[in-house]
């Protein structure tokens, strides 16, 4: 099993395409964050609170690329089948890939989710919409819905066995998040990864306004940024539990699949 895991990470290191795309996403997210902050009130904290979805929309798109590297490609070139023929068990073959794919995808997405926060802190005034420590804690919590979503995508990849399927699904997930968040009123809970993202990032908004003789109506916003410990514990426990269930289901399919 260790040899398969080492081979997976060697394959990732040799994949210049994935590394280039990952760096491109970092640059694109940094640029978009800068433009959004400049178009807002010029403070990073207001952007972090008001456009919190920026921290996970971009990472979800690239999620499929990592899973494809660890799972999809080895089915396309029959590497996974050769492992079984030379004596590796299906348990080793599945969990070596699944654990590598889920952890690497989650860490990669987690790194991307910090780009808006880092760019905002380094380039712009921070402001007072949310404290830096609060924003960091929320970003760290995104790791767990990423983990859950990566496990789900990994499970589907073992069922479909196509290297392009996870890449396509990464973009489908992004579209699904927008549709589900807009069409369902109760969209902040532990039910799905998408709703869990909203639960972590969305802060209660209080809006007031004033009439200015020159500017007209001027809006003022305040945010309730308190972090509930129930949200922290629920996010961690539910994400780990559901991710484990996804991998067990994926292994059940893989264990019964015929070698082709």
User: Tokens for 83?
Assistant: 């492992």
CB 168 within 8 A of CB 178: no
Poorest-confidence range of 105-114, 120-129, 137-146, 176-185?
176-185
Residue in 123, 163, 96 with CA at minimum distance from that of residue 35: 123
- How would you write 144-190 as a 3-class SS string? HHHHHHHHHHHHHHHHHCCCCHHHHHHHHHHHHHHHHHHHCCCCCCC
The mean-pLDDT minimum among 122-131, 143-152, 215-224 falls in 215-224
Would you place residue 68 in the very low, low, confident or very high pLDDT band (cuts 50, 70, 90)?
confident
CB 145 within 8 A of CB 196: yes
Give dist(CA 113, CA 207) in Å, integer. Answer: 27
**pLDDT tops 90 at residue 152:** yes
Q: Please report which confidence band the pLDDT of residue 226 belongs to, taking 50, 70 and 90 as the band edges.
A: confident
Indicate the DSSP class of residue 188. -
Contact present, 121 and 30 (Cβ < 8 Å): no
Decide which of 209 and 132 is more confident: 132
Q: What is the CA radius of gyration of the chain?
A: 21
The pLDDT tens digits of the residues spanning 15-39 come to: 778 888 999 999 999 999 999 898 8
Model pLDDT, residue 109: 94
Q: How far is CA 85 from CA 78, 158, 238, in A?
A: 11, 18, 37
pLDDT at 83 over 80: no
pTM here? 0.86
């Amino acid at each position: 099993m260790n040899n398969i895991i080492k081979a997976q990470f060697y394959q990732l290191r040799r994949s210049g395409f994935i590394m280039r795309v990952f760096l491109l996403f970092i640059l694109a997210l940094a640029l978009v964050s800068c433009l959004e902050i400049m178009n807002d009130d010029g403070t990073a904290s207001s952007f972090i609170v008001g456009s919190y979805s920026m921290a996970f929309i971009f990472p979800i798109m690239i999620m499929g690329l990592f899973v494809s590297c660890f799972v999809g490609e080895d089915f396309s070139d029959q590497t996974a089948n050769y492992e079984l023929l030379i004596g590796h068990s299906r348990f080793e073959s599945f969990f070596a890939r699944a654990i590598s794919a889920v952890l690497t995808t989650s860490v990669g997405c987690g790194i991307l989710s910090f780009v808006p926060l880092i760019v905002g802190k380094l380039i712009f005034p921070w402001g007072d919409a949310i404290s830096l420590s609060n924003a960091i804690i929320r970003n760290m919590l995104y790791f767990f819905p990423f983990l859950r979503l990566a496990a789900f995508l990994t499970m589907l990849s073992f069922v479909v066995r196509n290297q392009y399927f996870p890449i396509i699904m990464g973009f489908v997930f992004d579209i699904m998040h927008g549709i589900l968040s807009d069409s369902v009123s109760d969209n902040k809970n532990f039910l799905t990864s998408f709703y869990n993202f909203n639960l972590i990032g969305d802060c209660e908004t209080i809006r007031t306004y004033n009439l200015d003789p020159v500017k007209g109506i001027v809006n003022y916003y305040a945010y309730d940024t308190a972090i509930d410990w129930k949200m922290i514990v629920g996010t961690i426990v539910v994400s780990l539990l559901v991710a484990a269930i996804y991998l067990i289901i994926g292994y059940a399919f893989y264990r019964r699949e015929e070698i082709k």
